[in-house]
Every structure is written in structure tokens, then in C-alpha cells.
């Protein structure tokens, strides 16, 4: 299927699967939709099960090939992600304050319920045996040790790991239209798309305008304020963005995120295999904007005063640290944040339920912003390594 490997065909295929599903979905039998949704969940489960091993292989290959130089990359990635997440979380506070004072946010909000929910025809309950964070840390440590002390062994292992990742990506791409279509059928059947348009449009608009605007500023700055280069960066990220929107999983978009990063990086294309897997779980621009924005809006709607800057700073620090335990799956971003919002913002269970419902409603857009933000981070990381190499 050579046509499938052409980069321009991927966004058309994924977007086409999404559009066709939304058009024909209302006319499909319930049993067909239930079966298709079950297939989508199965693909997701297999993806999430395999992803830690893929992350381990990619990180091991990249770090072991660097040898002693790997230490400096690790020293760059972790602070870079923390700083970016913190800045994004603080920007959400600023935008939310302006929107609430202007009356755009903070009006009465009610949680969403549906009369009927699409259930999968079957479930296999595939359980993870390895977390993404353990795979990331394991890949970093083992790649560093083997790369420094056993260079010949590292080369041999990398060949096997490289073959595994290539097979994984080759199998994954043809399955993505099924993954996307099954998720779209679920959203459509449950009436979530209608809920988004009818009840929660103000929050969605403020989130999209602020987050996309901030990402556009980043890409335009990274493009040195040159429009052709800006367009080139964004065009390369379209396949990953469409996949993220349809699947609600930045993990599902990881192969395309790596591919986009390889095209967008100017200094070292190999940096794509370092930063993309490292940031897929923990650098979430969409989450950093959306979760605090909704939480603050819900607080105001319940009559609670807007948090002071000192209170929010404590929340932001806890929020950033909690990002290291987020799973890149649909709805995963908000679950680990519930205790943080309860402890630092004093949110009640009812408030937390509303935040969770809104997050699930807007997950496609949030995940798309996460993937685009990781695309910008890859370029920033590449620029930093270029400056460091020149300074020697």
C-alpha cells in the first residue's frame, strides 16, 4: 500500500474516515455501531498495551546512540517540560480571570447526561503490564548505561528495537481509520457532539481561541516570523492533529508526531525520537489551559471567590508535578488532577464531576492542542541543542 505511506494521504484518510462516520452514523444499525466501537476500543487497548514497549525502544535507541552526551539531553527535557507546563497553567489563570470578569465564563453550568449510551459489543479487558513512565525512565537509564559502557551491545540491541518499532508503526497506520470511526460513532450516538454545540460553546471558544492563539505565537516565533516556514511547520503536524482529534489519544498520534518532528527539526532529525516519546504523556498544553479554566469557571458559578495568585501558584505547582503520572488515553488527563483540584482549590465532588464531564466532552479538541504543543516543544528542544552544540 505505497499510497498510504505518502504523507499527504494520511490526513485525508483520517479526516475522511471521521467525516464519513459522522454522515452515515445516524443511519447505521445499533449492532453495527456497537461492533465498530468495540473494535475501536480493542485497537486502543492494544495500542496502550504496546506503547510502553515502543517508548522504551525509541528512547533506548536514541539515548544509547548518544553515549555520554545523553546526560545533557535528559537535563534539558525534564526542566523544559516543567517550565512549559507551568507557563501554560499560569496563562490559563490569566485568560480565565479576564473571561470571568467580562462575563464570558462563570455562568451557571450543569453536568451532561444522555438518555442512552453506546456500549461495545464485546470487551477483552487487556491489562497493561508496564506503565509509560516506567518505560520512559527504564529507556533513559538502560540506554544511558549501555551506551556508555557497552557500545557494541547497544548497536546490536538497537537493530532489533528498530525492527520492532517499524513493524509496530506499519501495522498501526491502517488500523487508525477504524479507531477514529469507532470513537466518532460513540460521540455521535451519545449526543455529546450536540451537547458541545448547545451548552458549552462559550468555554470551548475561550479555550480554543486562547490555546490555539498561544500555539500560533509559538510556531510563528519559531519560524522566525516567516509565514512560509510557519505554514510548513503546521502542515507537517496536520496528520498528527487529525489523528488526535478523532482518537482522543495523543498516544495514538505518537507515530505521526514523530514523523512531523523529523520534518520540522533543523538541527538533528534524531531529536524527534527523543523528545516526542518523552513529551507524549507529560507535556499537555491543552490540559494546562482547559482544566484550570473550567475549574475556575465552575468555582465562580458555585459562588466561590476567584482564587488568589498565591493559592493558584500552589495549585499550579501541584498540577505540573501531577502531569508526570498522566496516561495519554481518552479522559486520562483529568483523572489524576481531581485530587489536586480538591486539595488546592477546595472543589466539592459535584464540582469535580462537572469538570470531568466537560473534559470528556472536549477531549478531542484538548488532545489536538496537546499534540500541536508537543510539535512546538520538539522544535524548541532542537533549537536548544543546536545552541548548546555551537557554544562548545
pLDDT for the residue 133: 67
Average pLDDT of the chain is 81
The model's pLDDT over 270-279, given as tens digits with 9 standing for 90+, comes to 788 888 888 8
CA distance 375 to 276: 8
Q: Where are the alpha helices (DSSP H) in the chain?
A: 9-24, 30-66, 70-101, 132-149, 151-189, 192-198, 201-222, 227-247, 254-264, 272-279, 285-301, 309-322, 332-335, 338-345, 349-390
Let me know: does 348 contact 330? Beta carbons within 8 Å: no
pLDDT for the residue 364: 85
Contacts of 296 (CB under 8 A, 6+ apart): 93, 96, 97, 100, 105, 306, 307
Residue 207 reports pLDDT greater than 50: yes
- The mean pLDDT of 38-58, rounded to a whole number, is 82
| Stronger pLDDT, 13 or 385, i.e. the higher one | 385
Q: Where are the domains of the chain?
A: 28-390
| Stronger pLDDT, 319 or 165, i.e. the higher one | 319
Let me know: does 368 contact 347? Beta carbons within 8 Å: no
Q: How far is CA 347 from CA 66, 103, 202, 329, in A?
A: 46, 21, 22, 24
pLDDT for the residue 310: 93
pLDDT for the residue 269: 80
CA distance 340 to 342: 5
Let me know: does 62 contact 385? Beta carbons within 8 Å: no
pLDDT for the residue 381: 92
Please state, for a pLDDT cut of 70, what percent of the chain lies above it: 86
pLDDT for the residue 351: 80
Nearest to 303 by CA among 349, 351, 344, 341: 351
The CATH architecture assigned to 28-390 reads: Orthogonal Bundle (1.10)
pLDDT for the residue 208: 92
pLDDT for the residue 86: 95
Let me know: does 341 contact 355? Beta carbons within 8 Å: yes
Global pTM reads 0.73
Instruction: Report the 10 Å Cβ neighbour count for 112.
Output: 19
Please state, for a pLDDT cut of 90, what percent of the chain lies above it: 24
**What is the per-residue DSSP string for 73-123?**
HHHHHHHHHHHHHHHHHHHHHHHHHHHHHTTSS-S-------S-----S--
| Stronger pLDDT, 182 or 213, i.e. the higher one | 213
pLDDT for the residue 301: 81
pLDDT for the residue 193: 61
- The mean pLDDT of 254-265, rounded to a whole number, is 89
Residue 338 reports pLDDT greater than 80: no
Residue 307 reports pLDDT greater than 80: yes
* Count of all residues that appear for the chain in the document: 392
Most confident of 124-133, 146-155, 292-301: 292-301
The model's pLDDT over 341-383, given as tens digits with 9 standing for 90+, comes to 888 898 887 788 778 778 877 888 999 999 999 999 999 999 9
pLDDT for the residue 174: 82
Residue 332 reports pLDDT greater than 70: no
Nearest to 210 by CA among 29, 310, 56, 88: 88
The model's pLDDT over 95-136, given as tens digits with 9 standing for 90+, comes to 999 988 887 776 655 444 445 678 888 888 777 777 766 887
pLDDT for the residue 194: 64
Query: CA 294, 242, 210, 192 torsion: positive or negative?
Result: negative
Instruction: Report the 10 Å Cβ neighbour count for 383.
Output: 15
Amino acid at each position: 500500500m505505497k499510497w498510504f505511506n505518502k504523507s499527504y494521504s494520511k490526513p485525508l484518510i483520517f479526516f475522511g474516515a471521521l467525516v464519513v462516520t459522522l454522515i452515515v452514523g445516524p443511519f447505521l444499525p445499533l449492532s453495527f455501531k456497537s461492533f465498530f466501537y468495540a473494535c475501536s476500543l480493542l485497537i486502543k487497548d492494544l495500542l496502550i498495551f504496546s506503547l510502553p514497549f515502543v517508548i522504551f525502544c525509541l528512547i533506548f535507541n536514541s539515548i544509547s546512540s548518544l553515549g555520554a552526551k545523553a546526560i545533557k539531553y535528559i537535563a534539558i527535557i525534564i526542566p523544559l517540560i516543567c517550565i512549559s507546563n507551568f507557563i501554560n497553567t499560569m496563562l490559563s489563570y490569566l485568560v480565565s480571570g479576564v473571561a470571568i470578569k467580562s462575563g464570558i465564563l462563570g455562568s451557571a453550568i450543569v453536568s451532561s447526561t444522555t438518555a442512552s449510551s453506546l456500549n461495545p459489543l464485546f470487551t477483552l479487558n487487556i491489562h497493561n503490564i508496564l506503565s509509560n513512565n516506567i518505560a520512559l525512565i527504564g529507556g533513559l537509564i538502560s540506554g544511558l548505561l549501555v551506551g556508555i559502557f557497552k557500545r557494541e551491545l547497544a548497536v546490536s540491541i538497537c537493530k532489533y528495537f528498530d525492527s520492532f518499532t517499524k513493524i509496530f508503526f506499519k501495522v498501526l497506520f491502517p488500523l487508525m481509520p477504524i479507531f477514529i470511526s469507532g470513537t466518532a460513532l460513540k460521540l455521535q450516538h451519545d449526543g455529546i457532539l450536540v451537547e458541545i454545540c448547545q451548552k458549552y460553546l462559550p468555554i470551548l471558544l475561550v479555550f480554543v481561541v486562547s490555546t490555539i492563539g498561544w500555539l500560533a505565537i509559538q510556531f510563528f516565533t519559531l519560524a522566525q516570523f516567516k509565514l512560509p516556514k510557519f505554514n510548513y511547520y503546521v502542515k507537517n503536524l496536520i496528520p498528527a492533529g487529525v489523528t488526535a482529534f478523532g482518537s482522543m489519544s495523543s498516544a495514538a498520534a505518537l507515530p505521526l508526531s514523530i514523523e512531523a518532528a523529523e520534518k520540522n527539526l533543523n538541527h538533528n532529525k534524531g531529536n524527534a525520537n527523543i523528545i516526542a516519546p518523552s513529551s507524549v504523556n507529560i507535556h499537555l498544553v491543552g490540559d494546562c489551559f482547559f482544566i484550570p479554566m473550567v475549574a475556575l469557571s465552575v468555582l465562580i458559578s458555585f459562588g466561590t471567590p476567584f482564587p488568589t495568585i498565591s493559592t493558584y501558584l500552589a495549585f499550579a505547582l501541584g498540577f505540573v508535578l501531577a502531569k508526570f503520572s498522566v496516561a495519554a488515553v481518552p479522559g486520562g488527563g483529568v483523572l489524576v488532577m481531581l485530587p489536586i483540584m480538591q486539595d488546592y482549590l477546595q472543589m466539592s465532588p459535584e464540582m469535580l464531576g462537572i469538570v470531568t464531564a466537560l473534559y470528556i466532552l472536549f477531549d478531542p479538541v484538548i488532545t489536538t492542542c496537546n499534540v500541536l504543543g508537543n510539535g512546538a516543544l520538539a522544535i524548541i528542544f532542537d533549537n536548544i541543542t543546536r545552541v548548546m552544540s555551537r557554544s562548545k
